[in-house]
Amino acid sequence: MSEEIKGRARGGAALAAKMTAEERRAQSQKMIAAKRELAALPKATHTGTLKLIDREIPCAVLEDGTRVLTQSDFMGAMGMYYSGWIAANSTLDPSLVPTGIPHFLAQKSLVPSINKNLGHLQNIVLKYRTEKGSAAHGIKAEIIPSICDVYIDAVNEGNLGKRQKLIAQQAMLLMRALAHVGIVALVDEATGYQKDRARDALAKILEAFVAKELQPYIKTFDAVFYEQMFRLRGLKYPPEKVSYRPLYFGHLTNDIVYSRLAPGILTALKEETKKEEKKTHLHRHLTPGYGKLELIKHLSLVIAYMRDSTNWQGLVGKLNKYAPRFNETIPLDLEEADR
């Protein structure tokens, strides 16, 4: 084999050397067919990135004017997933749903809503050629509201499971955001302002709306925080009951987080919580801007010290030294239980 053949080419040459003449001919014909198929795909003439929910999703306009969003990124933003095994072993009768419905939508609980919202549509997912020349799968942009309607109708009918309800929640958020952007775009078009507005004006409106709506659902204290707390307290993680946490974890959290966040903040947050009929987490009463940002910064510090400690006393010792409680004097000769 020539020494000039390197990298992937060497592997290809080695594979070709093991093939029979018929196998090489079949392989060549297969490659030619693949190139022809790729060349026949509609090509993207314009590409960009759309910030949707909490993801940046590549989008494109094809040479025939079709607008598409990358399928995998849209599914990721919505919390959808594709399973080849589930698709191959599905018991759903294909005749129950319209032709062309993608596997990630073809679920028994969604059938009535699919027939209602997508029954008249064709080619929901299509293949296209990117500006760089590779093949990609996209979802037609104008169909996305109908996909959202599938989940919204299904959840209203009480047909969805736990995971699907989360997707429906994302769908409702997205539909509300698109409605806000849509009315602004219509006014701009009617007045001619669309010619003067900033290029990314509508995208910024969408992003700002979604950020505002997502605020109540942001999980501030994530699994890492509680995993470290369980470890430092010598408890098994994850617990047998998924949602179980000892009641005293609340007191520990107040000590290592809120009492060290700002002067008087713990007392103020507790007072705000007392005013509510339905008690909520303390961090819900922080301001969404500065307050929430400071909490996240402090939590990052706490988690770093958690990971660096072998026991709870060691963690508290580090925090007493580098992030002490407000309105409390810490002795300078305090020793850490571990290093």
Q: What is the pLDDT of residues 114-128, one digit of tens each?
A: 888 887 776 788 899
Whether residue 3 is predicted with pLDDT greater than 80 in this model: the reply is no
The rounded Cα 172 to chain-centroid distance in angstroms is: 15
Task: Tell me the pLDDT of the chain averaged across its residues.
Answer: 78
Residues 248, 263, single domain; the answer is yes
- Who has greater pLDDT, 33 or 2? 33
Measure CA of the first residue to CA of the last residue in the chain; give whole Å.
Answer: 58
In a domain, 32, yes or no: yes
Residues 193, 318, single domain; the answer is no
Whether residue 4 is predicted with pLDDT greater than 60 in this model: the reply is no
End of a domain among 216, 247, 276? 216
The DSSP string of 259-275 is GGTSTTHHHHHHHHHHT
In a domain, 1, yes or no: no
Residues 336, 318 contacting (CB under 8 angstroms): yes
pLDDT for 311 equals 94
Residues 259, 188, single domain; the answer is no
35-84: pLDDT as tens digits: 888 888 999 999 888 877 767 888 899 888 888 899 988 888 888 876 66
In a domain, 235, yes or no: yes
Residues 51, 144, single domain; the answer is yes
The reply to whether the predicted model has a pTM over 0.85 is no
Residues 241, 148, single domain; the answer is no
End of a domain among 175, 190, 216? 216
- Neighbour count for residue 270 (Cβ, 10 Å): 13
Amino acid at position 22, single letter: E
pLDDT for 256 equals 92
The continuous run of DSSP H or E covering 49 comes out as: strand 44-52
In a domain, 86, yes or no: yes
pLDDT for 338 equals 45
Residues 269, 258 contacting (CB under 8 angstroms): yes
Amino acid at position 165, single letter: K
313-334: pLDDT as tens digits: 999 999 998 889 886 654 444 4
In a domain, 339, yes or no: no
The sign of the dihedral angle between the CA atoms of 275, 277, 281, 287 is: negative
pLDDT for 243 equals 64
Helix (H/G/I), strand (E/B), else coil: 11: helix
CA distances from 296 to 158, 214, 286, 322 (A): 36, 16, 11, 17
pLDDT for 215 equals 55
Average pLDDT over residues 222-250: 83
In a domain, 333, yes or no: no
Q: How many folded domains does the chain comprise?
A: 3
- Who has greater pLDDT, 19 or 11? 19
Residues 81, 185, single domain; the answer is yes
Residues 49, 170, single domain; the answer is yes
Whether residue 16 is predicted with pLDDT greater than 50 in this model: the reply is yes
Residues 14, 24 contacting (CB under 8 angstroms): no
- Who has greater pLDDT, 324 or 243? 324
Residues 259, 190, single domain; the answer is no
Helix (H/G/I), strand (E/B), else coil: 24: helix
Whether residue 218 is predicted with pLDDT greater than 70 in this model: the reply is no
In a domain, 332, yes or no: no
> pLDDT band at 339, cuts 50/70/90?
very low
Residues 260, 205, single domain; the answer is no
Whether residue 285 is predicted with pLDDT greater than 60 in this model: the reply is no
Residues 153, 167, single domain; the answer is yes
Whether residue 336 is predicted with pLDDT greater than 60 in this model: the reply is no
End of a domain among 216, 241, 275? 216
The sign of the dihedral angle between the CA atoms of 246, 251, 252, 257 is: positive
pLDDT for 9 equals 54
- Neighbour count for residue 221 (Cβ, 10 Å): 15
Residue 314 belongs to what domain range?
223-322
164-182: pLDDT as tens digits: 888 888 888 888 888 878 8
**DSSP type of residue 331:** P
pLDDT above 70 coverage of the chain, percent = 74
Whether residue 144 is predicted with pLDDT greater than 80 in this model: the reply is yes
- Neighbour count for residue 263 (Cβ, 10 Å): 11
- Who has greater pLDDT, 222 or 139? 139
In a domain, 131, yes or no: yes
- Neighbour count for residue 126 (Cβ, 10 Å): 18
The sign of the dihedral angle between the CA atoms of 284, 285, 288, 291 is: negative
Residues 144, 291, single domain; the answer is no
For residue 94, cis peptide bond before it (omega within 30 degrees of 0) = no
> pLDDT band at 280, cuts 50/70/90?
low
Residues 189, 152, single domain; the answer is yes
Ranges 64-73, 141-150, 237-246, 286-295: which has the least confidence: 286-295
Residue 155 dihedral angles phi and psi, to the nearest 5°:
-70, -35
Alpha carbon dihedral 276, 278, 280, 284, in 10-degree steps, equals -50
